[in-house]
Amino acid sequence: DKGLHRLPDHPLGILKNVIENYFCEVDPSVSFTVMDDLSPIVSTYANFDSVLVPADHVSRSANDTYYVTKGSVLRCHTSAHQLELLKHGHKRFLVTGDVYRRDTIDATHFPVFHQVEGVRVFEPHEWESQNLSSLELASTELKTTLEGLVRHLFGECEMRWVDAYFPFTEPSYELEIFFKGEWLEVLGCGVMQSSILDAAELDGHRAWAFGLGLERLAMILFDIPDIRLFWTPDPRFSQQFKSGMFRAGGVGMKKFSSYSKYPPCYKDVSFWLPQDKNFTENSLCELVRSIAGTLVEEVKLIDEFENKKLKRTSHCYRFTYRSMERSLTDDEVNEIQNEVRQRLETDLHVVLR
């Protein structure tokens, strides 16, 4: 409900606006419809089937995706809206929204983050008038548009296209940039599978599509060290961001300056895995997150061994607790940890050691 991407002075809102402006300015004769408040609860059909995710794909499991009911989920990507919007007659659009994934816990992963999705449909006369095949037009246009977007965000930089796989595009690519000595993936994209266009009664058309994650790019561009900071109510964070502050590549822009970090508190727990083999790291992380909220910074497997005679496996996890806003007291961390230990036994059926 926070709609961080709709707050004009929040780093996610700032970045989203910069991206939307690029698509409105790049070629003012082709306007993109901009949407940012579609409900995050979508049908499993929209989230998976409509974008051709195979029936046995891991992302469909309750270990990876948050199911609301058997037939509905918290969208795990904004691609969930592609087909619906095409069916409604949209031919050029951007959709920004909160997306949800069950995952591990560290400084770059949070169960909710934000994506921007873009789609551009071409009519036959567009490639015919240029004497190109539809595929040539779509893939050339895709590459020049997204290279322009990356320059708009990062300034002049070295880029490379890497072949990728997404079920909804063919060919599929990832665009990477060389930034501060490393190759970084910026977005995924490709030429939309024809069967999606067919399903929207757009047979004979071509389209490209892309999707990018806002947090990762905002962390790089604004120098934000921990993904939980996006959610902090601390004015020492929010007061450092203002709409209009953004400069390509962060050149000449005041980056985020970290206020002093509060001390971490480490808690280790060792347990035998349940015999039924149903234990997963994602469910452990979900359990800790549900008790500790944003106070948990990292969950890390630090030791693992198998007792061959007893045919049992033991895991030792280290939890790092730290608040972004204040010092935690021993009492409150102990209370959280005790609850985690209890729920490990009752909910995940492990045997504490």
**DSSP class of residue 109?**
B
Q: Which is nearer to ligand DAH, 81 or 315 (CB)?
A: 81
Q: Which is nearer to ligand DAH, 79 or 145 (CB)?
A: 79
Residues at the interface with ligand DAH (CB under 6 A): 77, 79, 117, 166, 169, 188-190, 209-211
Q: What three-state secondary structure class fits 238?
A: helix
269-302 in b/e form (b: 16+ CB < 10 A) is bbbbbeeeeebebbebbbbbbebbebbbbbbeee
Residue 63 CB, nearest distance to ligand DAH (Å)? 17
One DSSP character per residue, 76-92 reads SSGGGGHHHHHHTT-SE
d(CA 65, CA 46): 14
Residue 235 CB, nearest distance to ligand DAH (Å)? 32
Residue 168 CB, nearest distance to ligand DAH (Å)? 6
Residue 105 CB, nearest distance to ligand DAH (Å)? 19
d(CA 160, CA 324): 36
Q: What three-state secondary structure class fits 62?
A: coil
Residue 151 CB, nearest distance to ligand DAH (Å)? 20
Q: Which is nearer to ligand DAH, 16 or 77 (CB)?
A: 77
The alpha-helical segments, DSSP class H, found in the chain are 11-25, 44-47, 82-87, 124-128, 134-154, 194-199, 214-222, 235-238, 281-292, 330-348
Preceding omega of 167 cis (within 30 degrees of 0): no
Q: What is the CA radius of gyration of the chain?
A: 23
Q: Which is nearer to ligand DAH, 189 or 333 (CB)?
A: 189
Task: State which residue has the least CB distance to ligand DAH.
Answer: 211
Residue 99 CB, nearest distance to ligand DAH (Å)? 7
d(CA 105, CA 121): 38
Q: Which is nearer to ligand DAH, 138 or 288 (CB)?
A: 138
Q: Which is nearer to ligand DAH, 58 or 302 (CB)?
A: 58
